[in-house]
Amino acid sequence: MSAEPSLNDHERALYSRQIRLPGVGEAGQLRLREAKVLLLGAGGLGSPVGLYLAAAGIGLIGIADPDKVEISNLHRQIVHGFDTLGLPKTISAAEALGEINPGLKVALHPEGFTVDNAAALVARYDIVVDGTDNFATRFLAADACVLGGRPLVHGSILGAAGQVGVFLPKAGCYRCLYPVMPDASSVPTCAEAGVLGATCGVVGSWMASEVLAVLLGKRQASRLFVIDVDAGASRSVSLSADPACPSCGPAATLHSLDKAAYAPVACPSPPIMADTPLEVTVEEARRLLSGPTPPLLIDVREPDEYAVCRIAGSRLIPMNSLSARLSEIPQDVLVLVQCHHGGRSMRVTQFLRAKGYARVSNLQGGIDAWSLRIDPKVPRY
């Protein structure tokens, strides 16, 4: 007869602070070690979810994501880094999670989560975590979890607002809230609306906490959390099964996954502008600005910063007012975007490219680099 499973001394030391919590203990930690979690998306939300689940001692994490790491991911997708640019996100994420917990088992699904594999993937795991950025995959995950009898933890972000949903079998599903998949054009994409990396951290960490709560048996009802990071507020919305729900109701009409029902509408990455570099050095910027057809130089700092120092000929359009002032930026000229050190201006450059501006580049190093290498008369701060 085999011995009862138990934690070893290494695990007791590693998870000692967690084991002390009411409702966890050694039995709960063993439950986490045996758990199999499917993570949909290794992006802004999947990054903190994956890191915290790995650190908590989850035994197996499956990662489904068809994308590769791009530079525009890095400010919020914290499992990736510059050394993994161009790699599949599944591989990059697996390496990062392994650094957090070398005993973790990771299953890679680089084909992503599709109609063809959804039912089989859901059946292999105890719980599904949806951190994707498009309606098609969200509804596919929700329906597959209902059909497979698996709990779903969902997260989404728009600007500084976020949602975390916990949907338990037979207790209310995603379609009880949103019966019909909306038109993708009705909500701005992540490239258009923008997002702070820290906001992804808040929502993703919350999602991880809910996953652990479900696995530890602390959740008996479905519910939705609505989070406003700017206001520092959140509220909980109770959820019960809708008798008219097309997915989980007694007269449900959804009994299988049909490709026609899930149009693949992904959140697009900013287009790559092959003829215009993403960044230019201050030396190249000086050459362009002194040429016969100088580019438009946009300073996206705040007015108080602009009052301290500026590059001659620059136009002040603070980053937070850019969306309202797009009409001031022509699309048929070369545009250089500049801030203090180059961080804010890079985000603006990516935003403008997503809006279709084909000739826009970031000024690498910002006005600080301009002062150090081009014009020392420009004050530094």
- In tens digits, the chain (381 residues) has pLDDT values of 456 789 999 999 999 999 999 999 999 999 999 999 999 999 999 999 999 999 999 999 999 999 999 999 999 999 999 999 999 999 999 999 999 998 899 999 999 999 999 999 999 999 999 999 888 999 999 999 999 999 999 999 877 888 999 999 999 999 888 887 776 655 555 555 678 889 999 999 999 999 999 999 999 999 999 888 888 888 888 788 888 888 898 888 888 898 888 865 444 444 444 468 888 999 999 999 999 999 999 999 999 999 999 999 999 999 888 888 989 999 889 999 999 998 889 878 878 887 778 899 999 999 999 999 999 999 999
| pLDDT for residue 266 | 43
Residue 3 DSSP SS3: coil
Q: Quick one: 312 exposed, middle or buried, by C-beta within 10 A (0-12, 13-18, 19+)?
A: exposed
| pLDDT for residue 189 | 57
| pLDDT for residue 263 | 66
Extract the tokens encoding 225: 């959390």
Residue 101 DSSP SS3: coil
Q: How far apart are CA 101 and CA 54, in angstroms?
A: 6
The b/e string for 116-144 (b: 16+ C-beta within 10 A; e otherwise) is: eebeebbeebbbbbbbbbbbbbbbbbbbb
Domain at 279-373, CATH homologous superfamily: Rhodanese-like domain (3.40.250.10)
| pLDDT for residue 146 | 96
> Residue 356, by phi and psi: left (phi above 0), alpha (psi -120 to 50) or beta?
left
Residue 15 DSSP SS3: coil
Extract the tokens encoding 153: 């933890």
| pLDDT for residue 258 | 85
Query: 173, 251 in Cβ contact below 8 A?
Result: no
| pLDDT for residue 214 | 98
| pLDDT for residue 187 | 56
Query: Kind and range of the H or E element at 152?
Result: strand 152-158
Residues 6+ apart with CB under 8 A from 339: 299, 300, 301, 319, 345, 348, 363, 366, 367
| pLDDT for residue 3 | 66
Query: 195, 157 in Cβ contact below 8 A?
Result: yes
HSE-up (13 A, CA, CB side) for residue 118: 26
Query: 47, 133 in Cβ contact below 8 A?
Result: no
Q: What are phi and psi of 233, to 5 degrees?
A: -135, 155
Q: How far apart are CA 316 and CA 2, in angstroms?
A: 72
Extract the tokens encoding 23: 């409702």
> Closest Cα to residue 32, out of 103, 132, 118, 119?
103
Q: Quick one: 236 exposed, middle or buried, by C-beta within 10 A (0-12, 13-18, 19+)?
A: exposed
Give catalytic residue positions. Answer: 190, 339
Query: Kind and range of the H or E element at 127?
Result: strand 127-130
> Closest Cα to residue 145, out of 164, 172, 163?
172
Q: How far apart are CA 137 and CA 126, in angstroms?
A: 19
Q: Own/partner pairs for 140-145, CB < 8 Å, 24+ apart? A: 140/113, 140/114, 140/115, 140/257, 140/262, 141/40, 141/113, 141/174, 142/167, 142/173, 142/174, 142/175, 142/247, 143/175, 143/247, 143/254, 143/257, 144/118, 144/119, 144/257, 145/169, 145/173
Q: Which of 3.60.21.10, 3.40.50.300, 3.40.50.720, 2.130.10.10 is the CATH number of 35-261?
A: 3.40.50.720
pTM for this predicted structure: 0.68
| pLDDT for residue 177 | 81
Integer CA distances (angstroms), 60 to 21, 148, 190, in order: 22, 19, 29
| pLDDT for residue 192 | 56
Q: Would you report the helix, strand and coil content of the chain in percent, each value rounded to 5?
A: 40, 15, 45
Q: Where are the domains of the chain?
A: 35-261, 279-373
